[in-house]
Chain A
């Protein structure tokens, strides 16, 4: 079994009287894709933000690559990359310039065109972010988050609001990132997304982790408890029909 790169122990967070993260613990292994699932308000985003050094930790410890997040946030920032909202880029700045600037924040000089090629945006090099489509924006924000080749890559609901084609393109991209050895931690509302991408998932509800295992094991355990789906499972669903008819190619 490979080594844990992110270790979360007894993590707590309260806003006023409301406890939103109630002492959760989990490890993320080097090189795996780890999903955090759960309804809105379950504490997914707050948990991620504490690991990302964006929010002070009330109680408990988080380490990334053996470094304590609360004690040395500056070192952590070199190790992690975070995909941010697609609006988080200034207007009237070319994609190449945005990547140059993002790398400069880490004190690094990079070749923006190569990075754009990785996410299939080399033809948009001189465009501004505001002129990209939704899927292009998401892919660009992934490129921006990876300029410094982080060890751990965080994505918060990466495919929300995208059409099926753009989602599939993004999944491919995330798999590619994983293949290069980067550990990926993502949150999502889409179960099939978690099934497709994640090696293991943690399901959160009301600030606690209620289940943590591989998607297959979670399904098996549920079936063992005697669960039966009311509708007969088809070999395809409506999304497969949609993709079959409209193609997998990226639009826009």
Chain B
């Protein structure tokens, strides 16, 4: 082993060991993203439920009872069982806790002329007109089905939907790749931004400065240990996401995913190196880190998928350093793409890596 490599390996090895002795660091890098996974994952797990409604049945006909049962079984709506009166429904609507209320008035489903008849009423407030429309069309569809079975007339037009049999992306896929991005930021930026100024204050870096250790050796060993620690914490997160709790599935190649994640860690960690390496103390590092991190945290697709943004914002945020990393991770992990398919993501990440490390080398100071 050449002596420069020995130097790098020893430094990396010792900081990795140190990490596994540091419970606080493990908490923030492993447990913290897991908490986010549990929170965001449970939101996206019920991905098919789009609206919450109140269902108020004021009729005692058997048809109405049956109708309520069927509607509750539908996965289009989540029915809030605590709503039993229109007043309650209105109060909940005003707080946006439910989107609309479906009322079956007294006498709904009573048999007249040998057939059950009735008119259901949908209440909504101005904030949730869209929910009401959807609710109305679903209920209409349900009624049409019932009507057809009662009237028994052949329908001249009909429509059926057929699955294309391709695996689309679920919300969870976006959540998990976003949280991997969050993990990379936490470890790669908030880590060094905290401990570099601390190492300067304690004189750790000054001691190293007196030795022949080169800045690049120090950087390479830091990147190496960060990549190992990052892969470990991301592996834990993927393992939990893949558990029966969340049913996240990686369809891509694990090795390609690991390689790409390491590349992402390298790039983002450079930002932490630049800020932590430049800052003389914590007071300088923290505000700058926040300015750099927050746009990425909210606009790169960590917590909120980018497809939900207005188009102009999508165009702008596409160029943030973290965006191609999160996109690339998702494309490999859940779309089964190969490294050769994600050229644009690799290219943009590489450009950022060059820019970031050029800055990091220039601004680094030992004391």
Q: Measuring CB to CB, which residues of chain A are less than 8 angstroms from any residue of chain B? A: 52-54, 74, 77-78, 80, 82, 84-85, 87-90, 92-93, 97-98, 100-102, 104-109, 144
Contact = CB atoms under 8 A, between A and B. Distances in A.
12 contacts: A52-B210, A53-B210, A54-B209, A54-B210, A78-B212, A88-B202, A89-B204, A90-B202, A90-B204, A100-B10, A102-B207, A104-B6
A77 B210 contact: yes
A82 B202 CA distance: 15
B11 A101 contact: yes
A88 B207 contact: yes
Contacts, number: 70
A100 B203 contact: no
B81 interface: no
Contacts of A105: 7, 11, 208, 211-213
Contact of B14 (A52, A53, A88, A93): A93
A57 to B, nearest CB: 16
B contact residues, range: 20 to 34
A88 B213 contact: no
The prevalent SS among residues of B at the interface is helix
Given A52-B210, A97-B17, A106-B212, A88 B7 contact: no
Nearest to B214: A74
Contact of B206 (A84, A93, A144): A84
B21 interface: yes
B22 interface: yes
Contacts of A80: 210
Contacts of A84: 203, 206-207, 210
B13 to A, nearest CB: 9
A74 B212 contact: yes
Nearest to A109: B6
Nearest to B2: A107
B259 to A, nearest CB: 27
A104 B206 CA distance: 16
B4 interface: yes
A142 to B, nearest CB: 13
Interface string B1-43: 0011011001100100110011000000000000000000000
A152 to B, nearest CB: 12
B16 to A, nearest CB: 11
B199 interface: yes
A98 to B, nearest CB: 8
A144 B210 CA distance: 12
Nearest to A147: B211
A92 B206 CA distance: 19
A98 B10 CA distance: 10
Interface string B188-218: 0000000000010011101111111100000
Contacts of B203: 84-85, 87-88
Contacts of A74: 212
Contacts of B206: 54, 84, 88
Nearest to B203: A88
A206 B17 CA distance: 47
A144 B10 CA distance: 15
A246 B296 CA distance: 62
B10 A101 contact: yes
B10 to A, nearest CB: 4
